[in-house]
Amino acid sequence: MLRALFILLSAAALAAQTPSPAAKKPFDVYALQQVARISDPQLSPDGLLVAFVVQRVFLSENRTEKHISVVPTDGSRPSRRITFEGKANTRPRWSPDSQRIAYVSDRSGSSQIWMMDADGSSARQVTKLSTEADGVLYSPAGDRLIFTSRVYPQCEARDDCNARRLEAAKNEQVVARLIDSLLYRHWDTWNDGRVSHILSLDLARPEANPVDLTPGEVDVPPFSLGGPEGYAISPDGLEVCFERKSAEDPARSTNSDLWTVPAAGGRAQLITRNPAADGGPVYSPDGAYIAYRAQERPGYESDRFRLVLHERSSGRQAALTEALDRWVTGYAWSKDSSRLFFTAEDRGREPIYTVRATGGAAQIAVYGNASHSDVQLLPDGESMIYAATSGAHPTEIYRAFSAGGEPRRLTHLNDDLLAEYELNALEEVNYAGADGKQVSGFLLKPPNFSMENRYPLLTLIHGGPQGAWGEAWSYRWNPQVFAAAGFVVFLPNPRGSTGYGQAFTDEIRGDWGGKPFDDIIAGVDHVIARPYVDATRLAAAGASYGGYMVNWILGQTNRFRALVSHDGVYDLPSFFGATEELWFPLWDFEGTPWDNPEGYRRWSPSQNAGNFRTPTLVIHGEQDYRVPVTQGMQLFTALQAQGVPSQFLDFPDEGHWVLKPANSVFWHRTVINWLTEWVNRPLPAVPDASPQP
């Protein structure tokens, strides 16, 4: 049992192991592409090794590769790569004896489950499914693999049936879709008639068809952009718990529930009946409980996530974090099942908390100017591993000790690269926003900063809108890259942001352009009072809701010299008619455009198009189905029709995010060139208004 809490400053350890920034280069987009991107650390059951995924960018070839590495938990040796074939090797999951690793690889030409020894040797392919495979879990009993595959519901896991349907679809001469329900496309993909199912493969008979544990017409687990995994296996290996949404009205409902099913197949049993979202099951090591997270309000995807325990013997459920007004983002059990360790957003950081399974107040275990994730407890019960990142450092893997002291950093893949560049720490700023309420954000100074200089200010507006800027590394809107271009970068967390209490998050509902806009402008006024900020050279940029806010700013003020709107909502009524997850506008705008026409009209940037004067770069991905490309097209048309300096950057092969390496570099160059050109242009001369003789 843990003797003490892990009261550590992991961000300080990040900084302490980063060389001083004297005489270093600015961190530009080309440096960003060279960072080794660490993810998905997985502790071996014996506690000796951590397997993890490393993604690297090959810019000259416009591609990425993902490979698996391992590192000892005692820090005695550097990490070592153990996969070399294929371009995508992911999802390392340990066998219960720590001797083998199951993983997902494309080395045979399609995504399949493979198995290798712990040192990477003796790799062999386990699945050969026409529908491919992903999401592998190794049964704690060692007898089977649980994984996901996108199958035709009529075929379930019968691969001959799925193969015939895939071949027929490939040879179909009619290229058309006959649609009779909503959610016919999602995020960046059209519905092709297949759904994700959880399959179970008996390792004693790997050549046999796997068993479909979740037959039906819906995706299991549901689509997710992050958070705890949607399925888990019981410690005895006999049961699988999974998250499933109702098949009824999937475009409107956020409701999901937890079910259990025998791992060998059988009838599923419903174990939660909350009308809002339940998901992310994690069994306790003793098998007595299933931990999961839950929301209370149906239809609200940004309601607070609470940590809940389901007692398997009685079916009783109890919330453990009701008194903590923060979103739970991930969690893990102590080895003796007496405690849970969990992460939660808090004022731009993501600390690790601990709470007893029997209830009581949550306590902070690991804090600091960092975001933590992937917490796992070692068998000794006295130490843990986790991943940590900050605004000035990409993800690393750490080991922390209950006795205290500095955590031990286990990975060092980026040390040589980062030693060449100046990466400054984020500075928290606090100010009075709308209605005098306290609002926070972050500020980043450019490399080689001097109090004697005056710098242009770039305000970056986050998406969501229920999201937040904070101590976390990003490969898209990375503030370090913008600071390297010579800007002081301001990262406000206005009303609607997460990590400041649920009431603060809720306040954006029905008020998209109201208090959040006032909060942002108040923050700009607060920052430009600093002597090193040039109040005449202001710019703003944002994506998704951040793009919406840029569009709103266009019609409200001319004080900015340049704007960038990426995948932003421009016309609210037409956005409602073309987006896919209707629960989002139904909640945030309190109904449909015909139920609440005044609300949609009031907060639609298109209603203020006649006021547009600021030079604006409009960016959109044609495969963005969340905010369809016509939103950007309408905005660009409004700008061009009025002679406002503007450009439209269109990506036919990108969705809501720009992910391809060459596209990302082009995006950064275009955005930074636009911003620097307009903030550095001389202001037009003001005519002499003095009286003439």
Any catalytic annotation for residue 117? no
Dihedral of CA atoms 100, 105, 108, 114 in degrees, nearest 10, equals 20
Per-residue pLDDT reduced to its tens digit, 479-532: 999 999 999 999 999 999 999 999 999 999 999 999 999 999 999 999 999 999
Rounded CA-CA distance 27/482 in Å is: 9
Instruction: Compute the Cα dihedral for 113, 117, 120, 122 and give only its sign.
Output: negative
Rounded CA-CA distance 654/659 in Å is: 7
Please compute the mean of the pLDDT values over residues 323-344 and round it to a whole number: 98
Paired tokens of 634:
């309408």
Rounded CA-CA distance 120/88 in Å is: 15
Paired tokens of 7:
């009261």
| pLDDT reading at 9 higher than 50 | no
Rounded CA-CA distance 666/670 in Å is: 6
The answer to whether 593 touches 572, Cβ cutoff 8 Å, is yes
Separation in Å, CA 214 to CA 159, 236, 268, 409: 16, 20, 8, 40
Separation in Å, CA 131 to CA 111, 249, 362, 435, 660: 9, 26, 44, 55, 24
Q: HEC states along 347-385?
A: CCEECEEEEECCCCCCEEEEECCCEEEEEEECCCCCEEE
Any catalytic annotation for residue 440? no
Paired tokens of 415:
């040390």
| pLDDT reading at 2 higher than 70 | no
The answer to whether 443 touches 425, Cβ cutoff 8 Å, is no
Any catalytic annotation for residue 28? no
Please compute the mean of the pLDDT values over residues 457-462 and round it to a whole number: 98
pLDDT tier at 403, thresholds 50, 70, 90: confident
Paired tokens of 471:
């101590």
pLDDT score at 14: 54
Please compute the mean of the pLDDT values over residues 160-168 and round it to a whole number: 97
Counting Cβ atoms within 10 Å, is residue 110 exposed (0-12), middle (13-18) or buried (19+)? middle
CATH code of the domain made up of 424-679? 3.40.50.1820
Compute φ and ψ for 599, nearest 5 degrees. -65, -45
The DSSP output letter for 692 is P
| Lookup result for tokens 């493979």 | 114
For residue 232, the cross-strand partners are 241
Per-residue pLDDT reduced to its tens digit, 207-240: 889 999 999 999 999 999 889 999 999 999 999 9
Q: Does the pTM of the predicted model rise above 0.85?
A: yes
DSSP string, 643-658: T--EEEEEETT--SS-
pLDDT tier at 248, thresholds 50, 70, 90: confident
Paired tokens of 86:
């294929």
The answer to whether 276 touches 258, Cβ cutoff 8 Å, is no
Q: What is the H or E stretch that residue 41 is in?
A: strand 37-43
C-alpha closest to that of 441 among 422, 454, 460: 460
Lowest mean pLDDT among 398-412, 449-463, 528-542: 398-412
Paired tokens of 516:
């959040």
Separation in Å, CA 413 to CA 228, 344, 398: 26, 27, 13
C-alpha closest to that of 585 among 598, 575, 595: 575
pLDDT tier at 680, thresholds 50, 70, 90: very high
What is the chain's length?
693
Strands 488-493 and 455-461, by their bridges, are parallel
Catalytic pick from 383, 624, 664, 668? 624
Residues 6+ apart with CB under 8 A from 569: 544, 545, 547, 548, 551, 575, 605, 627, 631
Report which residue type is found at 619. Answer: I
Paired tokens of 109:
């030409």
Q: Residue ranges per domain, the chain?
A: 424-679
Q: What is the H or E stretch that residue 673 is in?
A: helix 661-679
Catalytic pick from 67, 566, 620, 656? 656
| pLDDT reading at 168 higher than 50 | yes
The DSSP output letter for 277 is B
Catalytic pick from 10, 139, 497, 544? 544
Rounded CA-CA distance 524/247 in Å is: 46
Q: How many CB atoms lie within 10 A of CB 14?
A: 24
C-alpha closest to that of 137 among 40, 244, 46: 40
